Amino acid sequence: MSRTVRLTAAALVLSAAPLAAQARLTAGASAGTVMVGAQAMYPTRDIVDNAVNSADHTTLVAAVKAAGLVETLKGKGPFTVFAPTNNAFAALPAGTVESLVKPENRATLTGILTYHVAAGSWDAAALERAIRAGGGTATIKTVNGGSLSAMMNGPRNIVVRDAKGGVANIPTYDVRQSNGVIHVVDRVLMPGM
């Protein structure tokens, strides 16, 4: 091997070393961080501070603001939030979201949003344990006083059923927050009302 080739190979190895070290540092710095809506959700931030950065949850954030729930969801918790995506809200009948965010419908909106929140930290492992203990179904009491049912749909997939019989998949589990955990859901969960 010529001296030039050896020097070039050595230079490549040496120049790659800082990149590898940087990659390890970046990975370590983001431990526990989950990407949602193309943005990092940091476990050191609260539910609201993370949600406002998710491109997939702009409708949810607007609804939380319209319902006056920002301070509640920034509270100590812990809370578990089943967070519907923009696509989940878009699947509602035309005009539903626009109607719900009107001031005169604040009580209804608050009831729907708080139906997506449970007290405590129900991560996927806790949900799975409760489902097994419940013989295939776990009942989760929501902040609005209603209940959600969690069930297994396959060996490692949990789904959530609302009071109206609608079933939401959870495409992203265990998005840790400083005051709880978020599970992204693909459907707006509806209380019995």
For residue 34, pLDDT over 80 is answered with no
Report the alpha-carbon distance of residue 166 to residue 149 in Å, rounded.
10
60 with 125, same domain: the answer is: yes
Q: Over pLDDT 90: what percentage of the chain?
A: 62
147 with 120, same domain: the answer is: yes
- Return phi, psi of residue 179, to 5°: -125, 30
Residue 175, domain member (yes or no): yes
**Among candidates 108, 113, 38, 112, which has minimal Cα distance to 69?**
113
Please give the residue range of the domain that contains residue 81: 33-185
Residue 123, domain member (yes or no): yes
E-strand spans in 6-66? 34-36, 39-41
Count: domains in the chain: 2
Two tokens, residue 192: 């019995």
For residue 19, pLDDT over 60 is answered with no
pLDDT in tens, 113-143: 999 999 999 999 999 999 999 999 999 999 9
Two tokens, residue 55: 């491109």
44 with 25, same domain: the answer is: no
Q: Is the pTM of this model over 0.85?
A: no
12 with 42, same domain: the answer is: no
